[in-house]
Structure 1
Amino acid sequence: MAKPVRTQAIREQPSAGHRTGKPIWYAPTAVLGDAIAAAVPVYLGFAMGHGTNATAYVMVATAAWLLVRGARGRYAERHLGERVGIGPTLQDWLVLIGLLAVVRAATGEESPFLIAMAALLPCAPTSAVGHTLLHRHLLARRRDGRAVRRTLVIGQANAVDGLVSHLARRTDHEFIVVGVCPIGDDNPQTLAPIAARLGTQAPPCPSADSAPVLEAVRQLAVDVVLVVPGPSLTGMRLRRLSWALHGDECPLMVVPGLTEVARRRVVVSSVAGLTMLNVAPPLRHGLAMLVKAVTDRLGAALLIALLSPVLAAVALAVRLDSPGPVVHRQIRIGRGGQPFTMAKFRTMVVDAERLRHRMARTNEHDGRMFKIRRDPRVTRVGRLLRRYSLDELPQLFNVLQGRMSLVGPRPPLPDEVVGYNEMERRRLAVKPGLTGLWQVSGRSDLSWDETIALDLRYVDNWSPSGDLEVLVRTVRAVVAGTGAY
Structure 2
Amino acid sequence: MIAIERKRTERTKEPFLLMLLECVECREPGKCVHGIDNLVSVLLSATRETDVIGWHKDHRAIAILFTGLAADSKSACVGAILNRVSSALQDKLFSEKFVQLSITLHLFPDDWGNDGSGGPSNSTLYPELHETDTEKRGMLALKRGMDILGSLFLLILLLPVILAIAIAVKVTSRGPIFFRQQRVGQFGKCFTFLKFRSMRNRNDHSQHMQYVKQMIAGNADRVSAKGKAEGVYKLVDDPRITPLGKFLRRTSLDELPQFLNVLSGDMSLVGPRPPIPYEVAAYETWHRRRVLHVKPGITGLWQVTGRSRVSFDEMVRLDLHYASFWSPWLDFKILMRTPAAVIKGAY
The interval holding the TM-score normalised by the smaller chain is 0.5 to 0.7
Q: 1:454 aligns with which of 314, 318, 321?
A: 318
- 1:434: which partner in 2? 298
CA separation of 1:283 and 1:304: change in aligned 2, threshold 3 A: farther
CA separation of 1:436 and 1:394: change in aligned 2, threshold 3 A: same
> Does 2:302 align with 1:302?
no
- 2:70: which partner in 1? none
Cα separation, 1, equivalents of 2:166 and 2:290: 32
Cα separation, 2, equivalents of 1:420 and 1:284: 32
Identity %: 47
- 1:194: which partner in 2? none
Cα separation, 2, equivalents of 1:284 and 1:417: 31
- 1:367: which partner in 2? 216
Cα separation, 2, equivalents of 1:423 and 1:329: 28
Match for 2:332: what amino acid? Answer: L
Cα separation, 2, equivalents of 1:283 and 1:311: 39
Q: 2:175 aligns with which of 318, 324, 332?
A: 324
Q: Which has the higher contact order (CA 8 A, sep 6+)?
A: 2
TM-score by length of 1: 0.39
Match for 2:156: what amino acid? Answer: A
Match for 1:437: what amino acid? Answer: L
Match for 1:439: what amino acid? Answer: Q
For residue 386 of structure 1, give the secondary structure of its aligned residue in structure 2.
Answer: helix
Displacement after TM superposition at 1:361 (Å): 5.5
- 1:380: which partner in 2? 243
Match for 1:432: what amino acid? Answer: P
> Does 2:343 align with 1:479?
yes
For residue 337 of structure 2, give the secondary structure of its aligned residue in structure 1.
Answer: helix
CA separation of 1:365 and 1:435: change in aligned 2, threshold 3 A: farther
Displacement after TM superposition at 1:329 (Å): 0.4
Displacement after TM superposition at 1:422 (Å): 3.1
Displacement after TM superposition at 1:365 (Å): 6.2
Displacement after TM superposition at 1:474 (Å): 0.4
Displacement after TM superposition at 1:421 (Å): 3.1
Alignment of 1:232-251 (within 5 A): none
| 2:208–2:235 Cα contact (<8 Å) kept | no
Alignment of 1:405-424 (within 5 A): 405-424=268-287
Q: 1:398 aligns with which of 246, 253, 261?
A: 261
What are the ranges of 5 or more consecutive residues in structure 2 without an aligned counterpart?
1-131, 221-232
| 1:343–1:398 Cα contact (<8 Å) kept | yes
Displacement after TM superposition at 1:454 (Å): 0.8
Displacement after TM superposition at 1:332 (Å): 0.3
> Does 2:191 align with 1:340?
yes
- 2:230: which partner in 1? none
Match for 1:328: what amino acid? Answer: F
What are the ranges of 5 or more consecutive residues in structure 1 without an aligned counterpart?
1-280
Cα separation, 2, equivalents of 1:283 and 1:469: 25
TM-score by length of 2: 0.54
CA separation of 1:362 and 1:418: change in aligned 2, threshold 3 A: closer
Match for 1:357: what amino acid? Answer: S
Cα separation, 1, equivalents of 2:207 and 2:245: 21
For residue 374 of structure 1, give the secondary structure of its aligned residue in structure 2.
Answer: coil
Cα separation, 2, equivalents of 1:469 and 1:424: 25
Displacement after TM superposition at 1:286 (Å): 2.6
Q: Which has the larger radius of gyration?
A: 1
Displacement after TM superposition at 1:445 (Å): 2.1
Match for 2:215: what amino acid? Answer: D
